[in-house]
Structure 1
Amino acid sequence: MKRTIYLLFVALIAMSACHSGKKSAQNNLSGNPDPAHTSENALDWAGVYKGLLPCADCQGIQVEIRLNDDLTYERVMTYMGKGDNRYADKGRFEWDVNGRRIKLTPDSADNDGNTWFQVGENQLIVLDTAGNRIESNLPPGTYNFKKIDLDNVVTEKYWKLIELDGKAIASNEEGAAREAHFILHAQDSLISGSTGCNRLTGKYDLDEQDGRIGFSPLATTRMACIGVDYEQSYLDVFGATDNYTVSHDTLSLNNADKKVLAKFVAVYLR
């Protein structure tokens, strides 16, 4: 199953250039770049990047990649809206001769494909399987993965519930299918997540400058949640939330009176 998901991901990249009937455009990386100012040696490229790729038969492929200083990587891909099919891999990456692109090579022998990215300022740009830029009729930035600010950015993070109405929530409640969490997807202002048992989806409205946030009525699946006695209280938080505060990867959702309704902690590569 994992191999199938990975190969689907590679196939998606290989086919992406066909969306507009155009061929992939060559990266303008040839010639003699200044060796003192390459992405490899001039950018703070180590860190976590997230993006949402288009998907023909699901809500999107959420991708999260951590690039480490020792030239290793970790990656998590989730096919949204398909039972949250999740695939994780790790391996090594290498820079091209111009220090502009990287090629990810998985450790597992089951994965026989490589993935290319162009490395930019706080972003990775998905390339096709030959390492070339992708042209398509999709919105600009579709193939850009943004580097996560580990402090104050709230979108594109996995927020795990740790406190509800002043009471601590254990990370693994007995009987919970998944831990309670949510993710604010920048694309289309979508929220997805889990109550600890049922999946939740909906829309949100965010004003980062004023620290205000609101949520539309959320839709959930309807499985019986044995051992998850806080589900309704958790869902009620989103209806009552007016604003938020975030510090050092801890997020608080507050009502209009600034009362903390729930607290969350950011988890990476989940």
Structure 2
Amino acid sequence: MTRNLIALACIATLALAACSREPAGLSTDTAANEAPAEATQPAAVDVIPTGEGPASTFDQREFAGSFAGTLPCADCPGMDVTLVLEPDGTYRTTHVYQERPDGTWSIDGHWSVESNDSVIRLDPNSKTEEDQLYGIESRERIVMLDADGKKPDSGLDHGLTRQGAQ
């Protein structure tokens, strides 16, 4: 019984010691070896919430811009796509089927970012059009995704590249 009390007292002493503060000398030495807190924190940015929670750091206004490219087409040489993401969260896409006289149409709506700031969702104003997803590869390039948020495995390029100076 005495052994149990001694063991319990030792455990309690260790637990209390682990909860105590660092001595002033140690925290000063440690602080001298670390970078100042403001140097390790990212700069404050103007963030538009993306619906992914309060910790999101995606700056929708900064990312906004015009992207263009030629996407694969099943029954034509290709489809020229221009996607303009506006800073206010609206977008407009223009699709032009190559070698088709009446093959141009546009879609507009709202865009948001989801999946840990790695996917752009285009939500069209028209209820007959489906949402489109684009994966963010970099600030300069986005890639069309399928409805499940995956890159097509066709081996063809489904990417759009940022146009003009931002």
Shorter-chain TM-score: which interval? 0.5 to 0.7
**1:114 aligned to 99, 108, 131, which one?**
131
Q: Based on CA coordinates, which of the two structures has the bigger radius of gyration?
A: 2
Q: Which runs of 5+ in 1 are unaligned?
A: 1-34, 152-270
| Distance verdict in 2 for CA 1:42–1:55, change over 3 Å | closer
1:70 partnered with 2:85: no
State the alpha-carbon separation in 1 of the partners of residues 140 and 77 from structure 2.
25
Q: Which string of whole-angstrom CA distances, capped at 9 and with x for unpartnered residues, describes residues 29-51 of structure 1?
A: xxxxxx57x5x239932110001
Residue in 2 that maps onto 1:52:
70
Q: Which string of whole-angstrom CA distances, capped at 9 and with x for unpartnered residues, describes residues 170-204 of structure 1?
A: xxxxxxxxxxxxxxxxxxxxxxxxxxxxxxxxxxx
**2:114 aligned to 68, 86, 96, which one?**
96
- Of Structure 1 and Structure 2, the greater helix share is in 2
| Distance verdict in 2 for CA 1:115–1:64, change over 3 Å | same
Letter in 1 for 2:162: K
1:149 partnered with 2:164: yes
Q: Which runs of 5+ in 2 are unaligned?
A: 1-54
What is the percentage of aligned positions where both structures have the same residue? 26
**Distance apart, 1:109 and its partner CA:** 2.3
Q: What TM-score comes out, normalization by structure 2 length?
A: 0.60
- Of Structure 1 and Structure 2, the greater strand share is in 1
1:45–1:122 contact (8 Å) kept in structure 2: no
Residue in 2 that maps onto 1:80:
98
State the alpha-carbon separation in 1 of the partners of residues 61 and 119 from structure 2.
12
| Distance verdict in 2 for CA 1:143–1:43, change over 3 Å | farther
Letter in 2 for 1:148: Q
Deviating above 4 A after TM superposition, structure 1's stretches of 4 or more consecutive aligned residues are none
Letter in 2 for 1:116: L
**Distance apart, 1:61 and its partner CA:** 0.5
1:43–1:121 contact (8 Å) kept in structure 2: no
Match of 1:44, SS state, is helix
**2:152 aligned to 120, 125, 134, which one?**
134
Match of 2:59, SS state, is helix
Letter in 1 for 2:163: I
